Structure 1
Amino acid sequence: MSSLPPLAPWQHPFEVDPHARQRMRRTAWVVVLTFVTMVFEIAFGYLTGSMALTADGWHMGSHVAALGVAVFAYYYAERHAANPRFTFGTGKVSALGGYTSALLLALVALGLVWESVGRLLSPQRIAYDEALLVAVIGLAVNLVSALILGAGHEHDHDHGHAHEGRHATEAAHHHDMAVTAKGFGHAPSADPNYRGAFLHVLADAFTSVLAIAALAAGKWGGWAWFDPLIGLVGATVILYWSVGLARTSMRSLLDAEDFGVLEHEIVDRLQRDGLTRVTDLHVWRLGPQTYACIVTLDSPRPESAQQYKERLKDLSALSHLTIEVNRAPDRARSAID
């Protein structure tokens, strides 16, 4: 039995991202895979006395937590999709999940900096054989995880470029608009939550590759100092990724994104009769692939709001459109008088 209050006559449910459930399943599989590997590494680390194994296991644990946040964000958004308390739906939960993942990525990077600097100042004995084994296992797990999540990216990308135009020439003419209005929401980077999960997997794979290189240099070249130095390089790259993800998610949360191409397309369509003038326009993101628009129009011979909406009907990404129409003085006649 649902505990949600019934929708009022003026309220309506918002569409849930059609790819969200698939993304949630893929991310959940990665969580399970990473968790099993984490348990194996920690247990094997304690049994062999290898601190490298134990540390890498707990490092994977931080990514299990972050990926768990991504899964929870999808679950929460779907569960509360019909909750009227969310005025414009739960699409922004994805951005919140992405921002949280960015913070966790930054914490992982800072932890790597702390540990790497400590080992530079106070070198420790490294169990190279065990550590190399773990790095190879970790890389394999991360590559499989990246394939699982990457398949979701490709699926969305393919759908995102399936334009529905009247003619091929018209589709080509409106390519930039179509990417913004229709396909942009399907791009991998448009879902900050999924992008955050993908970056966590990439960060793990990246650090595994660096670890293999550093451990190989230490084992066969005697460069023990190379291991903490590579740790600093990896931390810098992960921190760079986290800043980019945080910036993207923050812009979505604060409605500070640039939709200039879409806005110009809306204005051009509404003003194409030569009489109508757009006097106020606001476009913002509701979710990874949906947008809302509020526009005010002036016209000496105004049409109905529904007629103006017909001009924008094929911009399917505009899931919530409000148009205010005002009668303005006939500027041509006023100029003659």
Structure 2
Amino acid sequence: MQEHEHGTGTEMTGKKFFTVTILNLVITAVEIIGGVLSGSLALLSDAFHNLGDSLAIVLGYIAFKISLRGQNVKQTYGYKRAQILAAFINAIFLVGLSIFLIIEAIERFWHPSPLNADLMLIVAVVGLIANVASALLLKGGSEHNLNQRATFLHILSDALSSVGVIVAGVLIALFNWVWLDPLVTLLVMAYILKEVWPVVKQTVKILMQATPDLDFCAIQADIDVIPGVMGSHHYHAWQVDEEAVMFSLHVNLQDMLLSDAEVIYDEINRLLMEKYDIKHVTIQAEVHRGEQEGMIDEEEQI
């Protein structure tokens, strides 16, 4: 039953990525045509923004499909980290694009471009409708999947850009306040940078195999009181993706049969799974070896 539900969710996520990709390509085509016909540099810039987002969505979808592959002798942990790589690339691209648009917006304060406000509004409304539909499709899974969240943030940035273009277009049409165009761009990009920065930090943390948010001292205290455990050391923890935490440790046990040690193994695994949500544990049993060594192997530190 659980496998069926997982498969259904996977199929739905694939359909979402495909639908969002098509919608974003349509937006891009509409904005390029609208930008050329209206002579609006703002619309053309947003069109290239959308084109970049389309490529990012395609990358995210490919990574999603790759992540579904099973484990094998070449990838013993499977391909889940493909989505982390895609999320990192998408987030970095969005940071770079935001910086570029901020520079362009500052430039436009000094050299404003004439705009066809009517056509600008029509194209922006079409873009907003498509972007809102795409954002709603991805919103649910974005809270638990970094790849989908990075893609969602791309779409969100487009939607906010469309809102900004609409507001600026109305005011430009009424009062000829052309300075609103770069001002709205600055505000939107500042918000996007704020939202995307946590994605960058978390993906870098996972790719660098940094320690997840675990209390090693508490874990050691819980393990060392298990009957038969004389001590524990050489702790290592890392993540394959944003959900799967890997953990390895050495435990000093009383001299006993291997079948008796397996009972302690099961107790340690159950403790780490139920209390700390650690799903994969590797344990090396020792009697006296390493008794004087610490929780972290100092010799392995760089």
Q: Normalised by the size of structure 2, how large is the TM-score?
A: 0.81
2:270 to 308, 313, 326: 313
Measure the CA separation in 2 of the matches of 1:26 and 1:120: 38
Q: SS of the counterpart of 1:304?
A: helix
1:271 to 209, 224, 229: 224
Report whether the alignment pairs 1:71 with 2:61.
Answer: yes
Report whether the alignment pairs 1:203 with 2:157.
Answer: yes
Report whether the alignment pairs 1:86 with 2:46.
Answer: no
**Structure 1 residues 111 and 21: CA distance shift in structure 2, 3 A:** farther
1:27 to 9, 14, 17: 17
**Structure 1 residues 148 and 223: CA distance shift in structure 2, 3 A:** same
2:101 to 109, 112, 115: 112
- CA positional deviation for 1:265: 6.1
Q: Kindly provide the CA deviation profile for residues 244-280 of structure 1, in whole angstroms up to 9, marking residues without a partner as x.
A: 221111001001143224x466435423336522222
Measure the CA separation in 2 of the matches of 1:214 and 1:47: 19
Q: 1:235 is matched with which residue?
A: 189
Measure the CA separation in 2 of the matches of 1:220 and 1:41: 22
Q: Confirm or deny: 8 A CA contact 2:232 2:250 kept in the other structure.
A: yes
Q: 2:297 is matched with which residue?
A: none
Q: Confirm or deny: 8 A CA contact 1:50 1:130 kept in the other structure.
A: no
Measure the CA separation in 2 of the matches of 1:245 and 1:322: 29
- CA positional deviation for 1:233: 2.1
**Structure 1 residues 22 and 307: CA distance shift in structure 2, 3 A:** farther
Measure the CA separation in 2 of the matches of 1:251 and 1:141: 33
Measure the CA separation in 2 of the matches of 1:53 and 1:203: 14
Q: 1:286 is matched with which residue?
A: 240
Measure the CA separation in 1 of the matches of 2:218 and 2:163: 45
Larger RCO, structures 1/2 (Cα 8 Å, 6+ apart):
1
Q: Normalised by the size of structure 1, how large is the TM-score?
A: 0.73
Letter paired with 2:101: L
Measure the CA separation in 1 of the matches of 2:222 and 2:11: 34
1:193 to 119, 139, 147: 147
Measure the CA separation in 2 of the matches of 1:32 and 1:84: 36
- CA positional deviation for 1:52: 4.2
Q: Map 1:225-264; keep pairs closer than 5 Å.
A: 225-261=179-215, 263=216
Measure the CA separation in 1 of the matches of 2:227 and 2:270: 20
Structure 2 residues not aligned, in runs of 5+: 1-5, 292-302
Letter paired with 2:284: E
Q: 2:298 is matched with which residue?
A: none
1:322 to 276, 279, 282: 282
For the aligned residue pairs, the C-alpha RMSD in angstroms reads: 2.7
**Structure 1 residues 197 and 257: CA distance shift in structure 2, 3 A:** farther
Q: Percent identity, aligned pairs only?
A: 25
**Structure 1 residues 264 and 204: CA distance shift in structure 2, 3 A:** farther
Q: Kindly provide the CA deviation profile for residues 21-50 of structure 1, in whole angstroms up to 9, marking residues without a partner as x.
A: 543332222111111221223234435555
**Structure 1 residues 83 and 39: CA distance shift in structure 2, 3 A:** farther
Q: SS of the counterpart of 1:287?
A: coil
- CA positional deviation for 1:127: 0.9
**Structure 1 residues 139 and 226: CA distance shift in structure 2, 3 A:** same
Letter paired with 2:28: M
Measure the CA separation in 2 of the matches of 1:266 and 1:68: 41
Letter paired with 1:125: P
